Amino acid sequence: MKNQWIEFIFGEVTTKVTGKGIERFLNVLTRNGLHIWNVKRHGTETVTFKIRVRDAFKIRPFVKQSGCEVSFLQRNGAPFLFKRMLKNSGFVLGAVLFLFIIILLSNVVWGIDIKGAKPATEYKIRKELDKMGVKIGKVQFFIDNVDTIQKKLTDNIGAITWVGVELKGTTYQLQVVEKKQPKEPEQPAPRNLIATKKATIVKMEVEKGQKLVDIHDQVVPGQIIVSGLIGKEGEEIPIAAKGKVWGETWYKSHVELPLKTTFNVYNGKEDQKYLIQARKCRDTHLGVWKIKIQGFKNRREH
C-alpha cells in the first residue's frame, strides 16, 4: 500500500508491448533498474504493465533493440491529476470557494437565545455579551469558550445567581436563574406621633423617637406624643418616629326611644291549598293556568 501511494505521487503509466520477444524485453528492463508492476498477458504476443513516468522515457533505446512495439494506454497519478485540475481551474476554484463559505457560515453566530431572565436582566446580559464579542455575525473562532462566557456573566452581573451557556450549532442558548432579592422596606419621611383623640395614656411601645409624655398623662388631639427629633439640643436629627400608644378615652351618646312602639307578629292561623299549575308551551297559544284541587275551607288555628 505504501508503494502504491508513492507511485501515485510521482505518476504512473500503463504501457502495452506487442511482439515476439516480449519476455526478453521485460528482462532487459528489470536488469537496467526500471521498475515495472502489474504485468498482465493478453494473448501470446501482447503484455501490459505499469511503469513510472520518469522511467517511461528511458525505455526507448531498449524498444529499438527488442523489435517490439510499445504504446502508452493510460496515465495516472498526482502530476496528471494536477494538470487536469489546471484545465478545469474554474470548477475547482468554485468548489473550493463553496466549501470555504459553508465552513465559514457554519461557524458564525446566528442566534442568542436567553431564557429565564426578566427584560431588565436580559438587557444587562446582552450588553455584557456585546462587550465579550458574543454577537450575531461574529465568527466562533474569535469568541471565548462557553465556560469562560458563563464565568464572566456570573461575575459581572449581580442580578443572576447562575447562568448556563450552551452552544447548539450556530446558536448560543443561555438559561438564567435570577436572585430572589427581598423587597426593600419603605423609608418614611421624618415625622412625629400625634394624638388624634383626647385620652389618658395607659401603655407605650416606642421603637424610634423621643417620648414627650408618659403613662397616665392626658393628651388632647394634635399633641405630640413621640417626637421625630433626636440628639442634643441644637443638633437634633429628624427621623421617622415609630411606635404604638394605647389610651383610654370616653364618649357621650344621646339616644331617644319612643314610649309606644308598633310590632308585627303572627296570629297562629294557617291555610293550606293545593293546586295544579300548567305553564305556557312554546309551540302553543295556551297561557299559564291553575286549578285548585284541595283546601277550599281548610283553616286551622294553633
Q: How far is CA 92 from CA 75, 76, 104, in A?
A: 21, 19, 18
pLDDT at 62: 80
Give the pLDDT of residue 280: 59
Which positions ≥6 away from 15 have C-beta within 8 Å? Answer: 36, 48, 49, 50, 51, 56, 59, 70, 71, 72, 73
Helix, coil or strand: residue 226: strand
Q: Got the DSSP string for 33-45?
A: T--EEEEEE-SSS
Number of C-alpha atoms within 13 angstroms, CB side, residue 174?
26
Q: What are the residue ranges of helices labelled H in 114-231? A: 119-132, 146-156
Q: What does each C-alpha distance from 210 to 190, 202, 229 come to in angstroms? A: 13, 17, 7
**Residue 141 to residue 58: CA distance in whole angstroms:** 53
Q: Grid coordinates representing 167?
A: 452552544
Q: What pTM does this model have?
A: 0.39
DSSP secondary structure letter of residue 228: S
Spell out the domains of the chain, with CATH numbers in brackets. 2-81 (3.30.70.260), 111-178 (3.10.20.310), 193-248 (no CATH)
The set of cell numbers assigned to 70 is 510499445
28, 70 contact by CB (below 8 A)? no
Max Cα-Cα span within the chain: 163
Q: Is-contact 189 239, C-beta < 8 A? A: no
- Decide: 167 and 129 in contact? Cβ < 8 Å: no
* Spatial separation of the C-alpha atoms in residues 134 and 131, rounded to whole Å: 8
Closest by alpha carbon to 25, among 52, 46, 3, 4?
Answer: 46
Distances (CA, A) of 15 to 22, 58, 241: 13, 13, 112
Task: Take residue 197 and report the three cell numbers written for it.
Answer: 383623640
Distances (CA, A) of 280 to 90, 122, 264, 275: 94, 66, 38, 16
Q: pLDDT of the chain along its 302 residues, tens only?
A: 445 666 677 778 888 888 887 888 888 888 888 888 888 888 778 888 888 877 777 787 787 777 788 888 877 777 777 777 777 667 778 888 889 888 888 888 888 898 988 888 889 889 999 888 888 888 888 888 888 988 888 888 888 888 888 888 889 999 988 887 677 777 788 888 899 888 999 999 988 888 889 998 899 998 999 988 888 887 888 888 888 999 898 878 888 888 888 878 888 777 777 777 766 555 555 556 677 666 555 444 44
| Segments in 106-207 forming alpha helices (H) | 119-132, 146-156
